[in-house]
Chain A
Amino acid sequence: MQTPHPKSSDRFTVRIDRDLEDIVPGFLANRQKDLRTLRSALAEHDFATIQVLAHRMKGDGGGYGFDRITEIGGGMELAAARHDHPAIEQHTAELEDFLTRVTVVYR
């Protein structure tokens, strides 16, 4: 399951095992929630919360088939550790972009 980097405004497709069909929508919905939490945490400079969320994204994404989310989470975790506000904003934007354009195909 290779998740291509978003290169343009095109949608891109992630193929996921049918076994996970029930839980994938919930996972993606939780990432939308994360986006909101990330933004408010950024506003409050709450890097600890950001680090926890990023760590979870890194640990969970690939398991669901979203390697890109693991990748974004990994970067964001490191950025949170060094309190790098602009980098976190950048990763948050990447996450939002990914969530907007992803299409899941179950097989």
Chain B
Amino acid sequence: MPRHPRLAARKRTKAPTASTRQSIPRPKRATGTQTQTRSTQRNPSLGQDAAVLLEQYQETLRKLAQSEALNSGNLPHAFQTITEACCRLLQVERASIWLFTTDRTSITLIDLFESGPQRHSADMVLPAAHYPVYFQSLATEERAIVAHDALKDPRTKEFTRTYLAPLNIGAMLDAPIRQKGNVVGVLCTEHVGAPRQWAIYEEQLTSSLATMATLAMEAAERREVEQALRVAKEAAEVANRAKSEFLASMSHEIRTPMNAIIGMADLLWETPLTPEQRKYLRIFRRAGSSLLNLISDILDLSKVEAGHLNLESIDFDLSEVIDKAIEILAMRANEKGLELACHLAPNVPCALIGDPTRLTQILINLIGNALKFTEKGSVIVLVTNDVDAHTPGTIRFSVSDTGIGIPADKLGTIFDSFTQANPSTTRQYGGTGLGLAISKHLAERMNGRIWAESTAGKGSIFHCTVALQVQTQPSAQKPALQINLAGVRTLAVDDHPTNLLILRETLGAWGAQVTEAGSGTAALDELRRASEQGTPYELLLLDCRMPGLNGFQVAEKLKETSLGKGLTVIMLTSDHWADDIARTYDLGLGGYLVKPIRRSDLFQTISIALGRTKGTSPPVRAEPLDPAPPTSTRALRVLLVEDSPDNQLLVQAYLKQTAHCLDVADHGAIALEKFKNGHYDVILMDMQMPVMDGYTATRAIRKWERDHNLPPTQIIALTALALKEEAVKIFEAGCNTHITKPVRKTTLLEVLQAYKEHRV
């Protein structure tokens, strides 16, 4: 009903004739011609085609929702956009956004848009206490405050004197702005002039715009949090870089004098010292080298983190890198009695370009870890082309072990610095936990990655991929080791399938006809079968340690029968290898190979063994053998513990021609004193002696080593080994190996040489 006197002042005077509360404007009604008899204005916009209007609303809301203004988090801009849209769509003169102050005692004008002067303004405050009914309604009503006649509506008439009259406001449509369920402000649509009959869709539109205001506020909050996070992250990165740079330079600064300290300690070690001094110096050197290792790790890690680690890009041979890593760790595997095998798939390119030193470092870390956390069983390294990559030179190393495994929830964190799967494992196994973190960084720098799979208690597999370049023209490539084994009937016997695979591939490539057997019994059956068929084997590679019939038992059985005739036997030894070597000689076999099996060793041993047993010269290979590697510059310090003066003289005579230094103790008690005050690489321990026998002395030495946190010294028992129980007693006492008495010169020298080559 029109009731406003200034109806004529409005441009649009037409209004729908039907219900004034319609959810959707109908175009036909919008064009109604009924003269309004009351002064209340209808929606001025209804003069337009309603469908077009609705479309316009929806389009504007859609655009707003997606607009930069609303989503950027720039709140003033967002509010201005909303108030402008509100004026435009509802064709009102004033639209404003007010927000509650934090104490909720008043609302503050954040933005007011006046469509006439096209002007924005702000900074006005309305205290809640002055307008209690309005604020009460705002807080309690679910929907918007729809005041068709603001001067009469009980909710808004409080504003008459201070607000409505001065500004000539006739109608108000105020939609609450809510955030997380609370009313935090209000979007006010104010119609200047006569009262106005708001349509329900206009109320809906205002509520939608109020929701836009909520969205804008949330976007702003989000931006604020993001900003804070970004600032914090940048600060952390700067701090971390600074830390890494500090560590890198500190580590370097520490290393320089540390090298001098350790070097001087080494020199001091070579001088005459009192027993007491030597004891102190031993601890000093050991602590020094531990510290230096730790510093090296920290230096590496901080270099990587600070981005200072430059990788080399040089030609190298992958098989050499693998051999080197395996060589370094073989002794550790043998000492723990673990089977260590590495298989390099034949299709993997070996002439690569990259950083061999850092690749070796990764491999040593992964294999070293596997050995460290495995007490029993095997560590197998498989080198293959990465199946997930299609570029040549992307290589995967998989190191599997039968160790303690890693709980599933720790698999993600073990690659973090200073982390081991369980704090208690750190106590048991030692280590800083830096190795994997460094390896991970290095692998990533080589465009690869490291990950692990594991079953706690069963074992783990660590995978590492690296993407390297393949040499296009392998320059001056070393000729592959070649030995002509064409047609040589060979039987490989080992209970570990990986070792059989390595033997089959390597020997097969040299032309041998390789048959495999997984046990001693199977080997004997096969040898017998071949012999009966008139095609006896010529070469037998025999693992020493196998369940059931072991290698030596097989060799002994061969000697007893005619099966061993014309057969060259090579023993594959691992743990207790010195004893194995001694037995190989005692049995008059062709030769021995200390596991893990390496191509070069295999080549050499077979050449010599075939040449030796057949009485012919060793098979010719494409290139002359490399000159023998120079023997270690430092000779071994050997302590002989022996009561027989004749045997003392004998061993002295054996070693006279070598560089090894021999010290002699007449019985165990003297040996123990000498050991505590000196330094020996190898102890040759007679077992039956007066005063203190070899068992007691060995146990005492082992205890002293444990008490002083020293690595175990190689102790070789010298005994006739008449009884099996004696062998058990020897190893129980803590001896590493055994040599049968009487000691032959060749055996002793071979054993010492083997120890020298394989010590870490």
Contacts and interface: CB of A to CB of B under 8 A. Distances in A.
Contacts of A74: 720
A74 B643 CA distance: 17
A26 interface: yes
Nearest to A26: B649
A58 B653 contact: no
Nearest to A51: B688
B646 interface: yes
A22 B656 CA distance: 12
A30 B647 CA distance: 12
Interface in B666-719: 686, 688, 690, 718
Nearest to A31: B646
B743 interface: yes
B646 A58 contact: no
A23 B653 contact: yes
Contact of B742 (A19, A22, A62): A62
Contacts of A56: 643-644, 646-647
User: Which bracket fits the contact residues of B?
Assistant: 20 to 34
Contact of A30 (B645, B686, B690): B645
B721 to A, nearest CB: 11
B745 interface: yes
Interface string B706-743: 00000000000010100000000000000000000111
Given A19-B656, A63-B647, A52 B690 contact: yes
Contacts of B742: 58-64, 70
B650 interface: yes
A27 interface: yes
A19 B645 CA distance: 18
A contact patch SS = helix
B657 A59 contact: no
B265 to A, nearest CB: 37
Given A19-B656, A19-B657, A59 B649 contact: no
A24 B572 CA distance: 36
Interface residues of A, number: 20
A44 B543 CA distance: 52
B744 interface: yes
Contacts of A30: 645-646
A74 B740 CA distance: 14
> Which of A26, A58, A63, A64: most chain B CB closer than 10 A?
A63
Nearest to B657: A19
Contacts of B656: 19
Contacts of B643: 56
Interface in A18-65: 19-20, 22-23, 26-27, 30, 52, 55-56, 58-64
B641 to A, nearest CB: 13
Given A17-B745, A55-B688, A60 B647 contact: yes
B650 A60 contact: yes
A52 B688 CA distance: 9
Nearest to A19: B653
B720 A64 contact: no
A104 to B, nearest CB: 14
A1 to B, nearest CB: 10
A17 B720 CA distance: 22
Contact of B720 (A20, A52, A59): A59
B653 A59 contact: no
A64 B741 CA distance: 11
A52 B743 CA distance: 18
Interface string B567-593: 000000000000000000000000000
A62 B656 CA distance: 19
13 contacts: A19-B653, A19-B654, A20-B650, A22-B653, A23-B646, A23-B653, A27-B650, A30-B645, A55-B688, A56-B646, A60-B647, A63-B741, A74-B720
Given A60-B742, A63-B744, 6 more contacts: A19-B745, A20-B650, A56-B643, A60-B647, A62-B741, A63-B647
